[in-house]
Amino acid sequence: MRNLGLIEVSVCVIWILHGINDQQSSLAAFRCGLQYLGNMAAGNRDSRNRIWKCTFPDFFLTCLNHLDGKVITYGAMLFFTCLDVEKVIELQQVKNLPVAQSVVSTYRKLPESEWLFLTITDHFLKCPELVEDIYAKLSNQERITLLDVILAKISERDPVNSEETLIPLKLVEFLASCFKETCKDVLKLASGTSTDDEESLIVIRLLDVLCEMTCNAKHLEWLQNCPLLLETVIDILQLAHFAGKQNKNVFTASHSVSKMEEVSHPAVGFKAHLIRLIANLCYEHKDNQEKVFHLDGIPLILDNCSIDDNNPFLNQWAVYAIRNLTKQNEKNQEVIAKMERQGLADYSVLKSMGLQVEERDGKLLLKSLKK
């Protein structure tokens, strides 16, 4: 059947069915036609290429933007089946970008669509240039959706296929640059006028993505050496911490939530994630330890070593950050020791970290508490 020229004829017939005004019968036939094309495309590269030639881009745009959920599903299945490296490159052409954009925008409306999810994760994310082009054209809500998909992809834990969950370093670079450029937008939440500012939500999601990326050795190595990333993270932590002390807002430490209550505003965990990122960026990285020292990041982190209902696990990430900052770094150890001696660092906080200050030969040393 594939060699009888039926693909081209079938596409023409399906287009005609789409244009018939008798909605009930034509819609059912249109769905069947899409399933038929999907079956023809499965397992046969030549058929996929012929279907693509007959349908791209208008046919796919029609399916992806259709009002009927089944048409969207069958169209997404066909689109995913036909895609390959060459066709993803073709999507980068300016005239074809609306198709890729429609995949993301439609997935935002139908997050249960596995075909749309797989199209983004298995094809789009492997082409950083396409992601950059799409991102520039997406609405704020659609950008959040795309970042959610990226987060879901890099959060997969599959030791057998670990390389499959990696995204290209060029995409890591792009996401880091987006965070550096827009991170101060999150401070809008301190005004209290809006808890769902979309630009702020994008920054929060970008931070989530960067934190998750540090779980992978290759991504971590690149991020540790990313120009100005660590400086930006410390700067926004300082600004958020200061904003929280100026007046009561989402960045203010809270100790009043009962066990039965839940904190639900979008900035929950933001400062904890900033410290998590600092901790990971300084993991066995001497230069970044020094950067934090010169940026006065150590007192800032110590000032955040408290229980905060707005930032679950804040204390634990601060402990981990101090560990990474002081490991084989006497200068950073001495900073903390002097702060404790001067009363600038709470001994109980250091104790909760498993640390104590000792004086030896006229020098203050930071040591682990003996158990």
What stretch of H or E contains 341?
helix 330-341
Same domain assignment for residues 191 and 318:
yes
Domain presence at residue 98: yes
Domain presence at residue 151: no
pLDDT band for position 343 (50/70/90)?
A: very low
What stretch of H or E contains 355?
strand 355-360
Render pLDDT for 122-172 as a digit per residue (tens, 0 to 9). 999 999 999 999 999 999 999 999 999 999 999 986 655 556 568 999 999
Write down which residue in 119, 138, 157 finishes a domain: 138
Class of residue 309 by CB neighbours under 10 A (exposed 0-12, middle 13-18, buried 19+): middle
Same domain assignment for residues 244 and 320:
yes
Domain presence at residue 109: yes
Same domain assignment for residues 309 and 183:
yes
Domain presence at residue 175: yes
Domain presence at residue 152: no
Same domain assignment for residues 250 and 125:
no
Percent of the chain exceeding pLDDT 70 equals 84
Same domain assignment for residues 132 and 177:
no
Picking from 9-13, 154-158, 236-240, 288-292, which range would have the lowest pLDDT averaged per residue?
154-158
Output DSSP code: residue 127: -
Same domain assignment for residues 171 and 288:
yes
**68-74: long-range pairs with CB below 8 Å, 24+:** 68/27, 68/31, 69/110, 70/31, 71/27, 71/30, 71/31, 71/34, 72/106, 72/110, 72/113, 73/113, 73/115, 74/31, 74/34, 74/35, 74/38
Question: Which of 313, 305, 311, 291 is closest to 346 using CA atoms?
Answer: 305
- What pLDDT was estimated at residue 254? 82
Same domain assignment for residues 59 and 121:
yes
Domain presence at residue 75: yes
Rounded CA separation 287/329 (Å): 11
Domain presence at residue 21: yes
Q: What is the mean pLDDT of the chain?
A: 88
Same domain assignment for residues 219 and 303:
yes
If one counts the domains in the chain, the total is 3
Domain that holds residue 78: 1-138
Same domain assignment for residues 309 and 348:
no
Same domain assignment for residues 120 and 44:
yes
pLDDT band for position 2 (50/70/90)?
A: low
Domain presence at residue 160: no
Same domain assignment for residues 370 and 318:
no
Tokens of 170: 């060029």
Same domain assignment for residues 175 and 101:
no
Rounded CA separation 290/12 (Å): 66
Q: What is the CATH number of the domain that holds 237?
A: 1.25.10
pTM for this model (two decimals): 0.88
- What pLDDT was estimated at residue 24? 79
Rounded CA separation 112/243 (Å): 38
Write down which residue in 103, 138, 173 finishes a domain: 138
End-to-end CA distance of the chain: 76
